[in-house]
Amino acid sequence: MRLVVARCSVEYTGRLDAQLPEATRLVMVKADGCVAIHSDGGAYKPLNWMNAPNSILEAEGVWTVTNPKGETLTITFHEVLSDSAHELGEDPGLVKDGVEAHLQELLAAIPDAIEHGLTLVRREWPTSIGPVDLMCRDANGDFVAVEIKRRGEIDGVEQLARYLEVLRPDTTLKNLRGTFVAQTIKPQAKTIAEARGISCVEVDYDDLRGRRPEELRLF
């Protein structure tokens, strides 16, 4: 991973045009080619980013980041304060908390609780950017990618949207669509999901525990 702290300005050209005026920021380049630009605030969410795969052209004081869709992120460096690279090695992945992991287990056993007629194809369906919690098929035989969170927030919706973007070129996944599932889903997350064509489902954890199959009754 490469980390550059610098006074920089940024221009994005793609689905819309956006600019970041000159300021001190962190520019992060991951080993997979993902580029993210952070300020000293706003928690984890970057000000702008380009998901992998990207090509990065470095010239004197300017980086031009381009993805296969033709979107471009141009970063102009006015003063570089720090530039370092670190080998992080292989990551073991996210270990989910007990409630979230158990929600996935319960919904894998009774996917009908998400949508009538839904059946499980596989848990932890692999993609190049991480596994989808559940891959299911609906009553029409169409595929449904399901992402499960304890609390439904915007980042969870965006995570599922990225999975769908990676999976949709696979023609074996007939009419693939996404469903975001959580105990509670924030209104902002529902709005983003609707814009992304993703359905939202809220589930009751205690109700699911009461409906679980006998082999999952641990207490």
Cis-peptide, bond into residue 46, ω within 30° of zero: no
**Does residue 214 carry a pLDDT above 50?**
no
* pTM to 2 decimal places: 0.57
Calpha distance 22→77 (Å, rounded): 9
User: Of 64, 85, 106, which closes a domain?
Assistant: 85
What are the φ and ψ backbone dihedral angles of 103, each rounded to 5 degrees?
A: -60, -45
* Side-chain half-sphere exposure of 86, counting CA atoms within 13 A: 8
Same domain, 141 and 108: yes
Contact 37, 26 (CB under 8 A): yes
For the chain, the C-alpha Rg in angstroms (whole number) is 20
- Residue 169: the pLDDT is 93
Q: What is the dihedral of CA 2, 6, 9, 10, to 10 degrees?
A: 10
Q: In one letter, which amino acid is 161? A: A
Same domain as 174, residue 106: yes
* Mean pLDDT for the chain overall: 89
- Cα distances from 119 to residues 25, 100, 130, 209, in angstroms, run 46, 20, 22, 18
Q: Is the pLDDT of residue 70 over 80?
A: yes
- Which structural domain range is residue 74 located in? 2-85
Q: Is the domain of 102 the same as that of 209?
A: yes
Q: Are residues 140 and 204 in the same domain?
A: yes
pLDDT for the residue 212: 56
Domain final position from 85, 115, 134? 85
Indicate the pLDDT class of residue 52, thresholds 50, 70 and 90: confident
- pLDDT greater than 80 at residue 47: yes
Residue-wise pLDDT for 97-137, tens only, equals 557 888 899 999 999 999 999 999 999 999 989 999 999 99
In a domain, 93, yes or no: no
Q: Determine which of 24-28, 39-43, 152-156 has the lowest per-residue pLDDT on average.
A: 39-43
Residue 219 has pLDDT above 50, yes or no: no
Laid out side by side, the sheet with 132-137 consists of 119-125, 132-137, 143-152, 177-185, 199-202
pLDDT band of residue 95 (cuts 50, 70, 90) is low
Residue 216 phi, psi dihedral angles, 5° rounding: -100, 0
Whether pLDDT at 213 is above 90: no
The residue out of 19, 50, 85 marking a domain boundary is 85
110 and 12 within one domain? no
Residue 59 φ/ψ, nearest 5 degrees: -120, 180
Strand positions, DSSP E, the chain: 2-13, 17-29, 35-38, 48-50, 55-59, 62-66, 72-85, 119-125, 132-137, 143-152, 177-185, 199-202
Position 17 scores a pLDDT of: 84
Phi, psi of 147 (to 5 degrees): -110, 130
pLDDT band at 43 (very low <50, low <70, confident <90, very high): low
Question: How do strand 177-185 and strand 143-152 relate by DSSP bridges?
Answer: parallel
For residue 42, the model assigns a pLDDT of 65
How many structural domains does the chain have?
2
Instruction: pLDDT band for 33, please (50, 70, 90 cuts).
Output: confident
Q: Is residue 219 part of a domain?
A: no
